Structure 1
Amino acid sequence: MTNSLNPIRRVVTFDDAQGRSHILEDGPSPAVRVVTERPGYRVTNLWRTQASPSPMEAPDSISDHTGVSPPPGGTVLRIIDIPPEPTDPQELQRAMEATFSSMYRDAHREVKPGEHPGMHRTQTVDYALMLQGELTAILDEEETVLRAGDVLIQRGTNHAWANRSGQPARIAFILIDAK
């Protein structure tokens, strides 16, 4: 399945020397990544901060970002397009392995026998905003379906995301470094 969702448009603003606001950039993010072994899976990293509080004039460094976690003391804004997951357990395992080895090497994986192969944990507080479609948020003891307009606050817990809907889903994440 190819990605049927439109690319993400990123608009970045700035103030000129007189303090007047302008648009600095308007177009696609320079940091879009796909997992070729998982057609339709696309990560669009949009912005990151490297400190808190963050200097408003800090240069764009999103193209330098790797992995899932933000820099120490920082944040990352990303949108992920997630295709329906394979129904075959072995194909699902291969898809998750490809996704994690390609994109999320810094996530701590805690997959136990019988659990969803996408289980992982990060040292972050995440605001997860469902934009389109539906995803199932899987935790150690329960799961819930999120639909467009729903928000999940992920506080460093072990979790996975499953798209069981048969349709592409789009979710935005703001990841905040946490202790």
Structure 2
Amino acid sequence: MYKSRLVIIDNIINNTSSVVEDKNIEPTIELDDGHKITQLWYNEKTPCEPNGKRDQLEHFNFNIKPGAVHFIKTIFPPFSKIEAYAKENSCTIDADSYGFHSTTTIDFAVVIKGQMQLTTENGIVKLNEGDCLVQKATVHGWINIGSEPAVMAFVMLGAYVPDSFIIKSFQDPISGKKI
């Protein structure tokens, strides 16, 4: 598999644009079931300050403050591998509710590689390579319905949500690890 790079262009002295960061990127989080999430960019507020360094999340979190920006890449293992992993660990998982979580964000998502299924509380949407999606602070779960790892990119903008909004954290059903 190829190495991914993150290249950041910013304004430098004299207000001219330049490459300020160019590096190989590695997953920030690797879950026991094979999910890999890479935090590419996070900033507490928009617009970003010129010559600004990116902020770092103290703890990886899908629920960010209104006005914050989060850019991530996620590699999803095939759901068949997650089911096999669960069976090896004497667990059962349900594709209709696997990975359900909520985000306090407006998400812009692109399927870069593979086939994905987004499950909501009221239905299912299947997405193929190149498909794009906008999601507005919802409860949902993602599964890879293909036979190879799938890759998605997300830009998440922190949004104001009603006081009645209930946050559901993503929890690995086998290890119990929350993110």
TM-score over 0.5 for the pair:
yes
Question: Percent identity, aligned pairs only?
Answer: 22
- What CA distance in whole angstroms lies between the structure 2 residues aligned with 1:90 and 1:83? 11
- Secondary structure in 2 aligned to 1:126? strand
Q: Is the 8 A contact 1:125 1:178 kept in 2?
A: yes
Is the Cα contact below 8 Å between 1:69 and 1:175 reproduced in 2?
Answer: no
Specify the SS of the correspondent of 1:137: strand
Q: Measured at CA, do residues 94 and 15 of structure 1 come closer, stay the same or move farther in structure 2, by a change above 3 Å?
A: farther
SS where residue 18 of structure 1 aligns? helix
Q: Any gaps of 5 or more consecutive residues in structure 1?
A: 98-112
Aligned to 2:110: 129
Q: Following TM superposition, where does structure 1 have runs of at least 4 consecutive aligned residues deviating by more than 4 angstroms?
A: 87-95
Which position in structure 2 is the counterpart of 1:18? 14
Q: CA RMSD in A?
A: 2.8
Aligned equivalents of 1:86 and 1:148: distance in 2?
A: 19
| Number of corresponding residues | 157
On the 8 A contact 2:11/2:50 being kept in 1, the answer is no
8 Å Cα contact 1:127-1:175 kept in structure 2: yes
CA distance in 2, matches of 1:26, 1:63: 20
**Shift of the alpha carbon at 1:64?**
4.3
Superposition TM-score, scaled by structure 2 size: 0.75
**Deviation readout 1:16-69 (Å, 9 max, x if unpaired):** 32233221111123762212x123x21111111211333233212236452223
Question: 2:80 aligns to what?
Answer: 86
C-alpha spacing 1:11/1:139, structure 2 compared with 1 (3 Å): same
SS of structure 1 residue aligned to 2:122: coil
8 Å Cα contact 1:126/1:175 also seen in 2: yes
CA distance in 2, matches of 1:168, 1:19: 41
Extract unaligned runs of 5+ from structure 2.
Answer: 161-179
Give 2:40's aligned residue. Answer: 46
Q: Distance in 2 between matches of 1:88 and 1:17?
A: 49
Q: Contact 2:114–2:129 at 8 Å: present in 1 too?
A: yes
